Amino acid sequence: MRALRCAVRLRWKDCAGIRSRMSTRSHPVAAVCQMTSTPDKDANMAAGTRLVEGAAQRGASMVFLPEAFDYIGSSREETLALAESLQGDTVSQYSLLARKLKVWLSLGGFHERGPEWETERRIYNSHVVINDEGSIVSVYRKCHLFDVELPARGVSLRESSFTIPGPCLVPPVQTPIGKVGLGICYDLRFPEASCALQRHGAQVLTFPSAFTQATGAAHWEVLLRSRAIETQCFVLAAAQVGPHHAKRSSYGHALAVDPWGTVVGDCGGEAEGEGVALVEVDLEKVRDTRRSMPVQEHRRDSGFYRSLDHT
């Protein structure tokens, strides 16, 4: 499997060999994006559009944007004030873009107004998948909320103060690159979710994220590679990078990992900034990995793993 990488600042740079290979690719291409969202929704839309258009021009059939692609607020109040419904301008504009460019989109973490918005002022963190006709085909609402206090590492976030936890996982989505299982950021730390998605047919797992600098440097790559190894899936993780405002900065390193656990695409950190990793998704590699090491066949029934609960 070939992996191709292109990092950019504000505009695309041509990657060596991409155009010459476009007509000879035998597998679908996924574009894993990295961006720096701010409270400026118009600027974020312009950046996301630029990334999607560039990826489509280079042959991507599905483009993955990170968590909080729409914006990252500087306070709880600003975050809530900027939230929209799925029928609002942001999702509508991306739906039009998908239809225009004939690409699928993974919008990795949208600030969606909750069902009791007028009285409760709480939101979902929603992963929205749009097909190449511009229709929403799946919405996953983040189940595991990031409530973490790490004073020694400068990390203090309480997502549950304004976010409703999602009620359930959603089935993997059939896309041009295979069956994609949906997660968001902190979900990455819960292998049970990844394994459940794999059992229901996922060939690709995706974890759009906005990892902090401290947790990213310590855990980002090892967690993504672990999820790929244990599920024998491709893992695609779009990411936020660099400073969003005075109070928050993200680690970056949007990654693509193959079913053996090898990193096949990396957009780099803050120095590289906005970028895209283009990766050919060869599903035969998923099948070969699972045939040669049939881990799932070796699993015991669920009762076996809970037997310690009764001792």
Cite the active site residues.
Answer: 67, 142, 185
Instruction: Quickly count: other Cβ atoms within 10 Å of residue 47's Cβ.
Output: 20
Considering Cα of 135, then 114, then 107, then 80, what sign does the dihedral take?
positive
Q: Give the residue from 66, 71, 133, 96 showing the smallest Cα distance to 277.
A: 66
What is the rounded CA–CA span in Å between residue 192 and residue 198? 10
Quickly list DSSP for 193-239: HHHHHHHTT-SEEE--B--BHHHIIIIIHHHHHHHHHHHT-EEEE-E
What is the rounded CA–CA span in Å between residue 302 and residue 304? 5
Amino acid, single-letter form, for residue 299: R
